[in-house]
Every structure is written in C-alpha cells, then in structure tokens.
Structure 1
Amino acid sequence: MKHLQLKTKEFVQKATNEERIVACKKFKWIGYTHAKKILNIMDDFLTYPKSHRMPNLLLVGDSNNGKTAILSKFNQLHLAYIDEDTSRLINPVLMIQAPPEPDEKRFYNAILEKLFAPYRTSEKIESRYIRVKNLLIDLKTKVLIIDEIHHVLAGSPMRQRTFLNVIKHLSNDLQIPLICAGTNLAFNAIQSDQQLANRFEPRVLPRWNNDLELKRLLLSFEKLLPLKEESNLIDNNLVTKILALSDGLIGEIAKILELSSIMAIQLGIEKINKSLIDQIDYTPPQNRKRRFIA
C-alpha cells in the first residue's frame, strides 16, 4: 500500500470495511496550488495594520468548486482561543453566511448567533449594530468572512444598496478586512457599489482542466482514499473520465471518488477503474436539470 500516506495506510490495515466506507464519506482537504495562494492572501490580512482603507477579498467561483472549503479551512486555522495572559476570549476570524436576502437585521443576527450572543426581536437596529461592533472589538476579531454574498441580489436595488452600505460601514468602523465569497453573481453584487468595487480584489476559482494541476489533485486524493490497491488515478483514461463527469468542479470530483471508493470496497476490487466509475449511482451536474425536467 505504498500509494497511501502513512496515516491512511495504518488506518486501512486496522479498519473494517464499514469503517473504511465511513472514512470515504468524510471531507478531505486537499491543499492545491490555487487554494494555498488564497489562504496566503487571507493570512496576510491577519497582520495588516489598521487604516481607513483596509484590503478586502472577493472569492468568486461556480457552485461546488471549493469556495466554502477554502474559507472553512482558513477559519479552522484561526479558531477562537483564551489568551493566557488576560484570560480573555479571542476570536481572530469570524465566518458567517449572508442572509438569504439583503436584510440588515438578519445580518446582525447572523453575527450575534455565531458568537452565541442573545438578542431580542424587538431590539432596534442601532442597538444591534453597536452590540455587534463592540463584541467584535472585545473579541479582537481581525477578519470578517461573509459567504454566499450573492444573496444580496435577492432584494430590490434599494435594499441591495442599503445592505452593501451596512457591510461597508462595519468594515470602516472596525478597520478590519472583509472576505466575501459567492458564485459569479457575487461579482455583480459588489460591482453595483463603486466604492466597494474599488476596495475588493477579485479572485476567481476556475473550473479544473486536464492538466498537471488536476493530476496533482487526483494523486493527493489517492493518498487519502482508504483502498488497499493503487488506482493510478493519474492515468489519462481515468483523468479524462473524471473530468468529463465532474464538469471540472472539485466538489463533484470528490463525490465521484467517494462513490467509487465505496463501491470498490463493497465489491472487493479495492481500486478505482473506468469500469467501476461507470457503475456508480452518479448524475453529472450538466445532466441533473434535464433529469429533473424529464
């Protein structure tokens, strides 16, 4: 089992088939080149000196192409902790999801809920804002992440402008960087406010192509999949097959490998091949809409 990393190899040697199937379903972080570059940018934000114009990042990409995974990884790397010198709780990174529509109250509620801070439905907007601001100052929050920012477009143009002004105002008051992420519509949401557009550096997560980067990704996956035999996922036939089915989306690639690994264990084949992939219960993203309509 030289194809496996040491930790995975030791697990496979001791685990039952049922345990290995559960392991197949668990999320696997792969630090591919583009993800590492984005994480480095976000890491720089943590030490950026306060100023009237803080750097901001807009992470854009298709659904299921790794945006939330990168944000979650960054968040996990900078979890809340207790300062040993002051015994105070420090929360350097706060990650929330944008409300389903541009609503100021829901935005503040999302932050308060994430911080386990109580609030009353009757509490005025001004009071909520002050509490949110003071909480983030007390917790020494250095970066605010807002995922699914394209939800802004679900409201009227007036509500969109109001919500974007809220985000801008909070960032200005706290003097901390913002990281927003969403589908390609997110770019339109931010671009609708000229001041915000000038402050956000857009970073696009492209779909995967049949190149060296994809082969590196598949090789990394193979080291983590709990299979006893080598699949040689970088074989051109397998690469082409996986890429075509996944439509170049990393979330879909992961799902194909998950389902294939489970079937390989169940059938006792212990490796992924082209014939096995043909047998899994998987509908490519480009076919799902047609299947639903049919």
Structure 2
Amino acid sequence: MTGYDHLHPSTVPLLELPSAERIERVRTKRWIPYASIRDPYAAMRTLLDIPRQQRPENILIEAPTNNGKSTLLERFETDHPPLHRPDQDKSLIPVLMICLPEHPTLIIVYQTILDRLGCPYAPSARRTELRRAVVTNLEKVGTRVLLVDELHNLALSGPQERDAILAFFRALGNEPALRISLVFAGTPGARITTQSDPQLLNRFDVFQLRLWRDGEAFRELLASFEALMPLRAPSYLGDDDAIARDILSRGEGVIGEFFKIVSRAAVLAIETGEERITLKTLSRIRYQSPSHRKVMIDDVPALP
C-alpha cells in the first residue's frame, strides 16, 4: 500500500485498529528469523530429517540472558506440533521441550517430561518407575528431538544429581527404541555443566548467539522490528545512525532489550499521536538498562 512501505504487508491492516488494540499488538513479541538464528534453526531441522542412528547428533546453544535462545526453542516446537494419528490413541510428538528448574533432580526431570507428555504418574513413584514411564511414552509418541532449556541450572544441582541427569539424557540417545537427539540451551558457559560426561559432550555441535554489535545484521533487525510495529509514519530505525546506536547502547547488545525499547517507544508514539519513533521518543520512555537494574538489585541490603 502506497505510503506504508516501512511496514510489512501483514502489519498495514493493523493501522485501522483502535489505538488500544494497536498498542496491544506492539507489546506482543513476534518471531523474527534474523541471520544469526537461522543456522541453529536449520541444524535443529536436520535432526528431524536424518534417519535414527546409533549416535544421534545433538546441538548446544549458548546465549546471554534474554538474547533469543528460549524464543528459538519455543518457535521450533511450535513449528513442529503434535500430529494426530487416527489409528492410535496417542498423537505423534516429534519435538518436545522442557525447561530445567533451579536445582533440578533426576526425579524432577522425569516428572517434567511426563507432565509435558500429559502422562499421569503417582507422586510416590520411584525413580525406576518414572524412568520406565518416560522411556515407554517417548517411544509411543515417536519423539525425535528433545529440547532442554535453562541447561545452566544443572550447575545448581549437586554433583551426583547432575551426573545422573546427564547420564539419563545420554541414555535417550543410546536406547535402541528411542535414539533421541538433544538440543541443550543455556547461558554462556553452559558447556561447563556437561564436562563431567565427556561421552555426551563430544556429540554436540555448538552455536553461540553473541551480544549484538552495530552492523548490517543489527540494522536489518531494527528494520524488521519497525516493519512489525503498526505506526503510520516511518521511523527509519535501521537507517538513522543516532537512533540505532542509542538502542544498541541502552539495550547493551541484547535482543530482548531492543524489543523492550522499541515497543515502549512505539506505544508512546501511538499515545502522543506522533506515529513514529524519534530520538526524543526514545529519551522519554521508562527504561532501565540491564546493568542499571543489576546495580539497583546489588544495592538492596541483605535481610537480617
């Protein structure tokens, strides 16, 4: 549509919505297949395409907090949903995602997988019973790839629990009836938590989602953000050096922070009727950088 070349075609109709609904759309995160995330996504897709094998290929994704790893895993699971099988009582679940809680134990991992599969279990069930249920149900639903987010939380478990959890994950690939590939995701240094199991670690290809720097990829990302924000006037986020550098600096290289900055500025642009993001708009939003928030937390006195 003439006059809205700065927007993605799917965004243009949103301009007809009331301001409140446009603001709701602005605040809703959308999937953007930016350059650095395409390779790990393609590698994950390959795990589904290759035949089951004795030593399944695995992937480890490392990224700073709020820099896209969880979004990547969630998107991959969404893109490969359960498939109904009329001739069987259980759907095919090719991709399953779990998130390791703080201080995970092997029993919690078993319970988390069963919960995600929708399989009931007795609260008093023993480890061996839970493990049998996990293996049996993963085989029934034909899971090919297990996504494990927040891998770094393994560091908060004791050495015995950590080693037991890693041994179980390795066994999912070794079980002849399963041969499941793993995708681990965690903060930088997540590999350290797997070093006690070198047989498992050497089966992983590693991808790192690094902090963003100014450059073509970052400018394309800003342009993609702008294309999805239903503002009537162009902001030139990817072309305006001052605006781009301001967002990069305040967001400290983290994609989740960029979205927060841009979305809050877009909300203000709608509320004021300016309909575009400028340096003045950015200066007026309520926003604290990650390092500022950390300082504020560190300054909180300890409880007596």
Q: CA RMSD in A?
A: 1.3
Provide the secondary structure at the position in 1 that maps to 2:296. Answer: helix
Corresponding residue for 1:118? 120
Corresponding residue for 1:79? 81
1:65 to 56, 67, 72: 67
Instruction: Identify, as 1 or 2, the structure richer in helix.
Output: 1
Tell me the TM-score normalized by structure 2.
0.93
Give the Cα separation in 1 of the matches to 2:58 and 2:37.
Answer: 17
Provide the secondary structure at the position in 2 that maps to 1:275. Answer: helix
Corresponding residue for 2:221? 217
Corresponding residue for 1:53? 55
Give the Cα separation in 1 of the matches to 2:297 and 2:284.
Answer: 21
Equivalent pair of 1:79/1:92 in contact (CA under 8 Å): yes
1:263 to 268, 273, 277: 268
Give the Cα separation in 1 of the matches to 2:149 and 2:215.
Answer: 29
Corresponding residue for 1:25? 27
Q: Which amino acid aligns with 2:80?
A: H
Q: Does 1:4 align with 2:2?
A: no
Provide the secondary structure at the position in 1 that maps to 2:164. Answer: helix
- The count of residues paired between Structure 1 and Structure 2 equals 293
Corresponding residue for 2:42? 40
Corresponding residue for 1:232? 236
Give the Cα separation in 2 of the matches to 1:237 and 1:67.
Answer: 28
Equivalent pair of 2:100/2:150 in contact (CA under 8 Å): yes
Give the Cα separation in 1 of the matches to 2:253 and 2:195.
Answer: 26
Give the Cα separation in 2 of the matches to 1:141 and 1:67.
Answer: 21
Provide the secondary structure at the position in 1 that maps to 2:222. Answer: helix
Equivalent pair of 1:99/1:110 in contact (CA under 8 Å): no
Corresponding residue for 2:103? 101
Equivalent pair of 1:56/1:179 in contact (CA under 8 Å): yes
Equivalent pair of 1:102/1:153 in contact (CA under 8 Å): no
Equivalent pair of 1:61/1:67 in contact (CA under 8 Å): yes
**Following superposition of structure 1 onto structure 2, how do residues 264-279 of structure 1 map, counting pairs within 5 Å?**
264-279=269-284
Equivalent pair of 2:146/2:180 in contact (CA under 8 Å): yes
* Unaligned stretches of 5+ residues in structure 1: none
> What is the CA-CA distance between 1:28 and the residue it aligns to?
1.3
Q: Which amino acid aligns with 1:126?
A: T
Provide the secondary structure at the position in 2 that maps to 1:159. Answer: helix
Give the Cα separation in 2 of the matches to 1:84 and 1:121.
Answer: 31
> What is the CA-CA distance between 1:87 and the residue it aligns to?
7.0
1:203 to 204, 207, 211: 207
Provide the secondary structure at the position in 2 that maps to 1:46. Answer: helix
Corresponding residue for 1:171? 173
Moved more, 83-92 or 262-271: 83-92
Q: Which amino acid aligns with 1:222?
A: E
1:245 to 240, 245, 250: 250
Equivalent pair of 2:55/2:173 in contact (CA under 8 Å): no
Corresponding residue for 1:187? 191
Give the Cα separation in 2 of the matches to 1:169 and 1:218.
Answer: 43
Give the Cα separation in 2 of the matches to 1:38 and 1:84.
Answer: 33
